[in-house]
Each structure stands twice: as structure tokens, then as C-alpha cells.
Amino acid sequence: MRTHRIAAIPGDGIGPEVIAAGLEVLVACAASDGGFRVEVEHFDWNSDNYLRRGHYIPEGGIDRLKSFDAIFFGAVGSLDVADHVSLWGLRLPIAQGLDQYANVRPARLLPGVTSPLRAGDAVDWVIVRENSEGEYAGHGGRAHRGLPIEVGTETAVFTRAGVERIHRFAFELARQRPRKLLTLVTKSNAQRFGMVMWDEIFFEVARDFPDVKTDRELVDAATTRMVLKPGSIDVMVATNLHADILSDLAAALSGSLGIGATANLNPERRFPSMFEPIHGSAFDIAGRGIANPIATFWTAAMMLEHLGETTCARRLMAAIEATTGAGIHTPDLGGQATTRAVTAAVCDALRR
Ligand code: ATP
């Protein structure tokens, strides 16, 4: 029997609700498969505990995570803690500390789900987001605070090593998809240093992937192409900030933010990778039992795939699709089902 050790970090808001649902589905997957089991350890790293303890991650916390096979993450963000404090206190130190440099975000219209786009059926994309540097490198500062001459800088940092490895990862991923099309997303007209280097390295790497077709788009034009010509896109590679924005748009175009899943990968597997829904803590619906757990189930399927349980990952995706296809939808998708009802339906579909 194979054992996969999972570190669960439910976090804030609806995070605990969707992670509980996700773990229930993972256990159902393992039971229906029979070849593996999941061993879960919970970490109470969240904003309430930050306010009590003064830290999100205790001393040595990142090292503790290194002994797990994967991390299952809910959401971080609270009305009582500034967003930059919570993000830099929990999610970013994990992603950066474990060198999860490739953030993969699939978007596809699931059966039974309505897209706000007329041509929503054509949404079938993967966004590859650089996850270790760029605009979120944490480089910058403030000076002359409160004075009329106050200054704040936020410097995007691009390194050849960082850019090359994400482009290479995106080409490998595009190569495995039927259409083998990779779109370079950039802003190298206005940003003429880091972004021009980003483009140059893309075309250098492209030489090693003659079977992958490429094109390029400025990030602003990429938003309109996603809306107006969704079928012309397959895989996109973009910087930390650009892909962050594009993937919320992608999730909305595929029906709801409650569907968008993501994997923060350390492709070389030196460290565990982290799997999470792309949505945040959604305070407006927290505690009401109506959070859509589909994003969390989808990311659980990505986790199973990463752990080598590919048959089970496919079965979980099929169970998700059977549930959305049967119209069992939470309110964000126009339905009335609760988180519990959707979870039960997916578990039932797994048992069938
Ligand atoms: P973050 O910046 O941390 O990503 P955010 O400010 O973008 O968070 P979210 O918390 O993701 O905001 O919520 C945005 C909107 O989407 C809210 O109205 C929320 O209720 C809705 N939403 C997000 N996730 C879900 C979900 N799983 N199910 C239903 N609605 C959701």
C-alpha cells in the first residue's frame, strides 16, 4: 500500500470549509482505489493564530513541511490583518521557501456550467505563472514616510535562471497537450529591460521545442483575446503579476472563481509542491456552508496526478464533471446546493 503524507493548511475564511471537503474527497478517492492511503497532518497557521502568536509560520515551520509529499492549502486573508502581511506571512514564504517556481492554472468549462462568454465552450487553457520572482520578488522599500516627498518602490526582479526555467517548464507542458501552442504573455513595449529579457529567453528556449507552436501577446491584449477569441489560446506563460490577474479572469470566464484550481510546483521534486484553490478566503460567504468546493477538488486531482496516482486523478475529475453535469451547483454557479451536498455527490460518483 502506497502512503502519501499530506500537510493540510486550511488557513482563513472558507479555507477550512473547502479543505475539509477536499480531504473527505481524497479519502474517498483512496478508498475507491485501494492502492494507496493518505496520511494527513493539520497545521493551524492562520490569521487568528497570527494575531495571538505574532507569527503565521513558527520557527522551523518551512523545514517541517519538507518532510511531506504535498501541501494542501486553503486560503489566507482576514479583515483583521492587512493583506500584504497575511500573504507575506504565510503563502509566499511557503511557495518561495520550497522553490515552487511553476504555478499551473488550468481553466476549462466543466459540464453543466455556464460561462459568461457566448463562446465559453472554447475555454480550455493552462496558464503557467512564474511563481518565485518578478513583481512579487519582495524587492523595494519606503522612504520619507508621511512626508510630502514620500517614496515607495516595488521593483520587479527577473533573473536569467528564473526566466529560463519557467519558459522551459511551459514548453514541456505545452508539448504534452494536443494543440501544442504556447503564447508568450509580455509587456515588453512599455517595460524595456526585464520584460525584453523575458521575451528573448523565451525565443532562445523555443529553439529546443520545434514541435511547439508559439505566438506572443501583450498582457492587455491577452485579456481581450481571452474574451473575444478564447479558442485561439492553449497554454500561456506569464510573469507572477500578469498571470495572477489573467487567471482570475480565466476562472470567471469558466464560470466562477469557485472553480479555479492551481498547483505550485517544484518540478524537480526537491521539495513538496502545494495545491490550492485560486480563490481567497471569501469573507462574505465564510461560515455559511455554501462555498464552492470544486476548485479544491480539482486541485486535489492535480495533487493526485503529481503524486503519481494518475488513474485516481482521472477518476476524480470524472466525478467532478458528473456532479457539475448533473446540475449540483453552489450559489456562485446559480444553484442552491451546499458545500456538503456537492461533496457528497462527488464522493458518491467516486464510489460508483
Ligand atoms: P484573494 O485576493 O485572497 O485572492 P479576493 O479578494 O480575490 O481574494 P475572494 O476571497 O477570492 O476575493 O472572493 C472574491 C469573490 O468570489 C467573493 O464574492 C467570494 O464570495 C467569491 N468566491 C470566492 N471563492 C468562492 C467559492 N469557493 N465559492 C463561492 N464563491 C466564491
Q: Is the pLDDT of residue 34 over 90?
A: no
Contact 161, 211 (CB under 8 A): no
Q: Is the CB of 74 under 6 A from ligand 1?
A: no
User: Which cell is 192 given?
Assistant: 524595456
The mean of the pLDDT values for the chain is 96
- Is residue 69 annotated as part of the catalytic site, yes or no? no
What size, in residues, is the chain? 352
Closest CA to 135 of 276, 278, 244, 25: 244
Closest CA to 91 of 107, 106, 77: 77
Atom of ligand 1 nearest to the CA of 292: 28
* Torsion angle (degrees, nearest 10) of CA 107, 113, 117, 123: 30
- Strand locations in the chain (E): 2-11, 36-42, 70-75, 102-108, 124-130, 134-143, 151-157, 181-186, 213-218, 235-238, 261-265, 273-277
Q: Is the CB of 323 under 6 A from ligand 1?
A: no
Percentage of the chain lying above the pLDDT 90 cut: 98
Q: Is the CB of 332 under 6 A from ligand 1?
A: yes
Q: Which of 257, 283, 329, 343 should be mutated for ligand 1, with most atoms under 8 A from CB?
A: 257
Mean pLDDT lowest for which of 66-75, 85-94, 174-183? Answer: 85-94
Q: What is the CA radius of gyration of the chain?
A: 20
Read off the pLDDT of residues 220-254 as tens digits, 9 standing for 90 and up. 999 999 999 999 999 999 999 999 999 999 999 99
Read off the pLDDT of residues 145-169 as tens digits, 9 standing for 90 and up. 999 999 999 999 999 999 999 999 9
The CA distance from 42 to 155, in Å, is: 35
Closest CA to 124 of 257, 261, 234: 234
Q: Is the CB of 272 under 6 A from ligand 1?
A: no
- Is residue 136 annotated as part of the catalytic site, yes or no? yes
**Considering the entire predicted model, what is its pTM?**
0.95
Tell me whether strands 36-42 and 102-108 are parallel, antiparallel or unpaired. unpaired
What distance in angstroms lies between residue 281's CA and the mean position of ligand 1's atoms?
6
